[in-house]
Amino acid sequence: MMDLLSVEGVSKRFRGLLAVDNVSFRVARGSIFAVIGPNGAGKTTLFNIIAGMFAPDRGSVDFAGERIDALAPDEICRRGIGRTFQLVRPFPALSVEDNVVIGAMLRRHDPAAARRHAREVLARLDLFGKRHQPASALTLPDRKRLEVARALATEPKLLLLDEVMAGLRPAETDRMVSALTELNREFGLTILLIEHVMRAVMALAARVLVLHHGARIAEGAPAAVVREPAVIQSYLGAEAVD
């Protein structure tokens, strides 16, 4: 099987609201897959289900051939899924480097080895120079980078990125896009991203899933998906087609 992640018929209801409605998709090993949709479309809920924060009401999530939808978030991370948070959650009092060291310790119990690995990751994400600053001192774009670095340090097979481009300037977005592309090419890292910044989605993703009111309305190659009338109507608006 070439699929690393397979989501089958997943639904999740919060009180009355059906946040995720019977969603299915597959992410091929080594690919970059994007989930887009307007605010409140259920993207983050879907992410949280994959990452183990919520159990789905119905459906299943399989990762690397094993069912993971009943597992706790830490167990899912140990299986090889790293994630970032839409509202960033650094360890504020710790240094940037120590933030990443904690991630690196998942696979490297020796602090010195974890630190070496953390520095490599920091260099890759342009944070090496800021490694001694407390995480609380970073700007928002840097905090987003730190989220990615920390998740990467756990050496995941699949990286879940929740709007890591939001708030970045175009140049910063391009830099992040190229960093992610490198990771994908060099290490075969599979990436699943939620993104509003279409510039990044078009540059990165091989396939795109569009959610609206929790349900799938389209899936396919980015260039094809953005031309589908349903997608344009619900989300992108006419100008995005140009």
Partner 1 sequence: MTSRLLDGISHRGVALLAVLLAVLLAAPWIANDYLLTVLIIVLYSAYTGQAWNVMMGFAGQLSLGHAIYVGLGAYAAAALYVHFGIAPWLGLAAAIAVAVACGAIIGFLAFRFGVGGVYFAILTIAFAEFARIGFDHFQWVGASSGFFLPVANYTRNDLWNLRGDPTMFYYVMLALTVAAFALCHVLLKSRIGYYWQAIREDEVAARSLGIDTFRYKMYAAVLSAGMTAVAGVFFAFYYNNLFPEQVFHISRSIELILGPIIGGIGTLFGPLIGAFLLTGLSEAMQELLSALGFDAPGAKQVFYGLCLLVVVMALPGGVWPWLAGKLRVTRRDP
Q: Would you tell me which residues interact with partner 1 (CB under 8 A)? A: 51, 53, 72-75, 77-78, 82-83, 85, 89-94, 98, 101-103, 105-106, 109, 111, 114, 132, 150-151, 154
Q: Would you say 29 or 107 has its CB closer to partner 1?
A: 107
Using an 8 Å Cβ cutoff, are 57 and 6 in contact?
no
Integer Cα distance of 70 and 109 in angstroms:
27
Q: Would you say 67 or 78 has its CB closer to partner 1?
A: 78
* Least distance in angstroms from the C-beta of 69 to partner 1: 16
Integer Cα distance of 71 and 221 in angstroms:
31
* Least distance in angstroms from the C-beta of 232 to partner 1: 35
Q: Would you say 73 or 167 has its CB closer to partner 1?
A: 73
Q: Would you say 64 or 94 has its CB closer to partner 1?
A: 94
Q: Would you say 69 or 219 has its CB closer to partner 1?
A: 69
Integer Cα distance of 137 and 92 in angstroms:
8
Q: What are 25's strand-pairing partners?
A: 7
**69 DSSP assignment:** T
* Least distance in angstroms from the C-beta of 49 to partner 1: 14
Name residue, tokens 């140009």: 242
* Least distance in angstroms from the C-beta of 72 to partner 1: 7
* Least distance in angstroms from the C-beta of 63 to partner 1: 14
Backbone angles phi and psi of 9, in degrees to 5:
55, 40
Using an 8 Å Cβ cutoff, are 80 and 64 in contact?
yes
